[in-house]
Amino acid sequence: MNFDTISVIGLGYIGLPTAAVIASRRKKVIGVDINQYAVDTINRGDIHIVEPELDMIVHAAVKEGYLRATIEPEPADAFLIAVPTPFKAENGNQHVPDLTYIKAASKAIAPVLKQGDLVILESTSPVGATEQMAAWLAEARPDLSFPQTRGEDSDIRVAHCPERVLPGHVVRELVANDRVIGGMTAKCSKAATALYGIFVQGECITTTARTAEMAKLTENSFRDVNIAFANELSIICDKLDINVWELIRLANRHPRVNILQPGPGVGGHCIAVDPWFIVSETPDEARLIRTAREVNDGKPQWVVDKVNEAVGKFLSANPDKTAKDVTIACFGLAFKPDIDDLRESPALSIATKLVHDSPGKMLMVEPHIIGLPTQLQKQGARLALIEEALGQADVAVLLVDHREFKSINLAKGLVVVDTRGIWE
């Protein structure tokens, strides 16, 4: 199978690295995005997102002429769709998957499709989304045949191949991870396997499109349920006056126990989102998956309550002070350690609540950003350096276990709320 030109639709956290890695294998790649700023930035050889090593690869691919970005789709031999699948509210359900972007991408590429092309959906999707995408394509191109009606003999091949890369390690994991390839027919799977063979060193395992969709949702739900277990333990242990970090270390010495780490909640755009795709489709059956989501989503408020308790403790030890005199320092705003990504971050939502509720000074320590989000700034919070915050804080709240925070020496008398167990 020959893929001379490959088009990647959606140049975000998944699409851009994928486009760049394929281009680095000396394949002609056309990246398509509706965001003109992203298109212009990439065509200059720069990147509009933060991901280690990506800038070098994009720069080289654009400079050598293998990668080009555009707003309008152009003909290609394979199309990889990597657009977002957010939620929408519908009939009182807040977490219904919204396929608008997939629909728009299908409509956009349909006019340039030709016989023999391969279309791959990479976006994390509810079960059935690939079939739905194929239906949209068929509707727009009645002159071409698709697997849902023509099976193995279709003009166009369609598959779902979910991305499984870890933000912060995308460039390495894109190449090294195994891929689940869910073709709508065996021929579709074969074509998609050949495409991933261009850059994937992991194994490509074929299955159906629906199983591939569910595999991706299952992986992230598995992690969510396990983090929820750790978070629930942390709340139980707090009540029973047990150090949860020590408890987990001890329990994990059992050869068949591997408990994850509690934290301030689950953030990011995948683990806190994907389980809802299962719950939304099978609400009566997905009881554990739903409860895990609720446990993890409830953790930020529990942390806020803990900080308020800590402020109360400080005030009873310092009866001459009022709440207005208390300085709170939050350590970390990102959704996980050692990255700058604040989107869907429980740390950010805790900090925002604290800034809103606390009348005293609020200092934010986040070594990975150069300016605070406007909302925090407007409410009077200040971005501070580690030393400055430590010098002024009455209450220190550890929200993200960034490398920089691990070696901090805490002053005696400082009231601490440590959601990550690195200052225990």
Nearer to ligand SAJ, 1 or 215 (CB): 215
395-to-115, 139, 323, 334 alpha-carbon distances in Å: 65, 60, 12, 20
Nearer to ligand SAJ, 73 or 265 (CB): 265
User: Using CB atoms, what's the residue nearest to ligand SAJ?
Assistant: 270
* Residue 128: burial class (beta carbons within 10 Å; 0-12, 13-18, 19+): middle
Q: Does 107 bind ligand SAJ (CB under 6 A)?
A: no
User: What residue type is assigned to position 126 of the chain?
Assistant: P
Contact yes or no for 140/106 (Cβ under 8 A): yes
Q: Does 166 bind ligand SAJ (CB under 6 A)?
A: yes
| Window of 2-10, 67-75, 217-225, 308-316 that interacts with ligand SAJ by CB under 6 A | 217-225
Q: Does 219 bind ligand SAJ (CB under 6 A)?
A: yes
Q: Does 18 bind ligand SAJ (CB under 6 A)?
A: no
From the list 220, 234, 280, 358, which residue makes contact with ligand SAJ (rule: CB under 6 A)? 220
The catalytic residue among 161, 188, 216, 330 is 216
CB atoms within 10 A of CB 239: 8
Q: Does 278 bind ligand SAJ (CB under 6 A)?
A: no
Nearer to ligand SAJ, 149 or 243 (CB): 243
Q: Does 179 bind ligand SAJ (CB under 6 A)?
A: no
Q: Does 215 bind ligand SAJ (CB under 6 A)?
A: no
Q: Does 17 bind ligand SAJ (CB under 6 A)?
A: no
Which residue matches tokens 């891929």?
179
Q: Does 260 bind ligand SAJ (CB under 6 A)?
A: yes
Nearer to ligand SAJ, 18 or 154 (CB): 18
Q: Does 414 bind ligand SAJ (CB under 6 A)?
A: no
Contact yes or no for 268/342 (Cβ under 8 A): no
Q: Is 365 helix (H, G, I), strand (E, B) or coil?
A: strand
Q: Does 50 bind ligand SAJ (CB under 6 A)?
A: no
Q: Does 85 bind ligand SAJ (CB under 6 A)?
A: no
> Catalytic site residue 237?
no
Complete DSSP assignment for 58-83: HHHHHHTTSEEEESS----SEEEE--
Cβ at position 220, least distance to ligand SAJ in Å:
5
Identify the bridge partners of residue 206 per DSSP, sorted by sequence position: 181
Q: Does 267 bind ligand SAJ (CB under 6 A)?
A: yes
Contact yes or no for 110/138 (Cβ under 8 A): no
Structure tokens at 201: 């060193």
Helices then strands, each counted (H, E), the chain: 15, 15
> Catalytic site residue 270?
yes
Report which of 329, 389, 387, 374 is spatially closest to residue 354, judged by C-alpha positions.
329
Q: Does 97 bind ligand SAJ (CB under 6 A)?
A: no
CB atoms within 10 A of CB 271: 21
What is the spatial distance between Cα 327 and Cα 248, in angstroms, rounded to a whole number?
32
The catalytic residue among 161, 188, 270, 330 is 270
Cβ at position 4, least distance to ligand SAJ in Å:
29
- Considering only residues 309 to 338 of the shown chain, the ones binding ligand SAJ according to CB under 6 A are 335-336
Q: Does 227 bind ligand SAJ (CB under 6 A)?
A: yes
| Window of 2-10, 160-168, 240-248, 388-396 that interacts with ligand SAJ by CB under 6 A | 160-168
Q: Does 271 bind ligand SAJ (CB under 6 A)?
A: yes
Contact yes or no for 206/193 (Cβ under 8 A): yes
Nearer to ligand SAJ, 227 or 383 (CB): 227
Complete DSSP assignment for 146-191: -HHHHGGG-SSEEEE----PPTTSHHHHHHHS-EEEEESSHHHHHH
Residues that bind ligand SAJ (CB under 6 A): 124, 163-167, 219-220, 223, 227, 260-261, 263, 266-268, 270-271, 335-336
